[in-house]
Every structure is written in C-alpha cells, then in structure tokens.
Amino acid sequence: MGSPQANLVEIFSALQGEGPIVGTRQIFIRFGRCDLRCHFCDSDRTWQPSPSVQVEQHAGLRDFVEFPNPVSLEQLLAWVDGQHQPPHLHDSISLTGGEPLLHAPFLTEFLPQVKAATNLPIYLETGGHRPAQLAQVLPWLDAIGMDWKLPSASGEDHGPQHGDCLRQCVAAGKTVFVKAIATRDTTDADLENSARSIAAIAPDTPYILQPASPLSAPIKPNQAPPEPPTPDQVLHWHSLLKQILPQVRVIPQSHKYIGQL
C-alpha cells in the first residue's frame, strides 16, 4: 500500500476568527468534502472534492501556489513545516473544512507525525455529527470546536450524534466547546433543546452563539440566503440560554471584519 492521501482545499496561516480562541494564530489545513448542506454555509466550495489545493508558501504572505489533489501525507507534512516559520509564530494547527472527519483514516497517521514535528496543539473544527470517526482521531486532538446544528437555521438535524461527540470529548478530558450558528429563522425551541442536551451531558461546556454572517448569494437554487438575526433576537437568545447553561457567549465571525481568510 502507498502513502495515505487526502483531498485538501488550502493551507495557510491566519488568525482564528470564531469561538473562544478568537484572535490566536493558526496554521489552517482546510479539507475538501462535506456531507452536510447547511443553509448558512460560507464554505460551500468545500462540499465536493477539490481538483487542486492552494498552498501558502510563506506564513501570512498569501503567496499561494496551486498543486493537484490528492495530497500525500509526506507532502502535507512538508507544507506544514514550511508554514511553521518562525517556529514560535503559531498557537496551534486548525483542521477545518469541509468536514475533516471524512478523512479520519488519513488523520490517524498524519496527526501523530505533525504533532511530533511541530509540537503544536491540534484544534479540530467539526460539524460534530460523526462520532465513530471522532473516536479514531480523538487521542491526538487537544481542542475541539463542534457545531450544534439548529434545524431551523441550518436545515440539518443531528442532535443524537452531537451528543455522542460531546460525550466522547468530555470522557477523554479534551477541551471542547459548542458553537451554534443562528439566523433570523432560528427558533427558541431549537436553542432550548440544544442547551438542555448539553446541560445533561456536561453543563460547564462553553456555548458559543454565533450570529450568521450575511451571504452575498444563495448557495442553493431558488432559496434566498438566510438573514442574520436582529440585535433584539441575539439578546433574547442569550438570556434564554443563560437560564440553562452558565457559559454562554455571543461571538460573530471576527475574521471577516479584519480581512482574514
């Protein structure tokens, strides 16, 4: 058997723009393919495998060069090593997508090697709906940001799978937070259901309410782009969630305001 391979979209250095580690510098590895079709997705270009990957040659300079997919483990390790300069620039490596857990067999071989090579923590951004694949890679993860899809906002409903993923993270002693993206169509019932499910598993889990960012065009034919929630909705929802969970924060996508990819 040859070297394991993965489909990638891009590799670059940037500031994390979402969640409680917002503002930290990361090496982003964006994987191609996603099995969800969220209405508010701003990365629908990652839904299908990408024919090529854009690789930043020098951290933060946006000097991208295009290479064909799929990518071997050895090639990805070399690219990450190139990004890891100077050696104290980055706080962690972000696995994002798409859905990185669709590449679990590749990650089980890649993660121990990249951790040994860089000594950087590994941060997984996931839809939180693939517990079997999460279990395969969990030993090498340091932090997990998992979405909790609200059906009224996303069009996706994976509550039991979200619960399974959260239980795994907590049992393994991993740093984990839940992110729920809300649109103007989000219902109180969906937010309450998510919060009560989390409270039953690990009530101290940070809950990040992320107002959806505006989309310039619909991502599905004959469907208007979802609208961001109003300020009154956000304040109401924060109050609602705080009756159930102690750690609730509202954090928008800050990277879009400071020009980060």
pLDDT of residue 70: 97
What pLDDT band is residue 54 in, cutting at 50, 70 and 90? Answer: very high
Give the residue extent of every domain in the chain: 5-256
Q: For 55-69, what is the mean pLDDT?
A: 95
Of 4, 175, 24, 144, which is closest to residue 77 (Cα–Cα)?
Answer: 4
Instruction: State the average pLDDT over residues 25-40.
Output: 95
Pick from 105, 148, 9: nearest CA to 66: 9
Look at residue 63 and tell me whether its pLDDT is greater than 70.
yes
| pLDDT recorded at residue 208 | 98
Q: With 60 as the cut, is the pLDDT of residue 217 above it? A: no
pTM for this predicted structure: 0.94
CATH number belonging to the domain at 5-256, selected among 3.40.50.720, 3.30.465.10, 3.40.50.800, 3.20.20.70: 3.20.20.70
Band of residue 248 on the pLDDT scale cut at 50, 70, 90 = very high
- Contacts of residue 134, Cβ cutoff 8 Å, sequence gap at least 6: 101, 104, 126, 144, 165, 168, 169
Mean pLDDT over 206-214 rounds to: 94
Query: Cis ω on the peptide bond leading into residue 70 (within 30° of 0)?
Result: yes
Select from 130, 217, 234, 177 the least CA-distant residue to 16.
Answer: 177
How sure is the predictor about 257, in pLDDT bands with cuts at 50, 70 and 90?
confident
For residue 65, what pLDDT is reported?
97
Mean pLDDT of 95-99: 96
Confidence of residue 93 (pLDDT cuts 50, 70, 90): very high
- Do 123 and 107 touch, CB atoms closer than 8 A? no
From the number of C-beta atoms within 10 Å of its C-beta (0-12, 13-18, 19+), residue 182 rates as buried
At 138-177, the pLDDT tens digits run: 999 999 999 999 999 999 999 999 999 999 999 999 999 9
Is the pLDDT confidence value at 118 over 80? yes
pLDDT averaged over the chain? 93
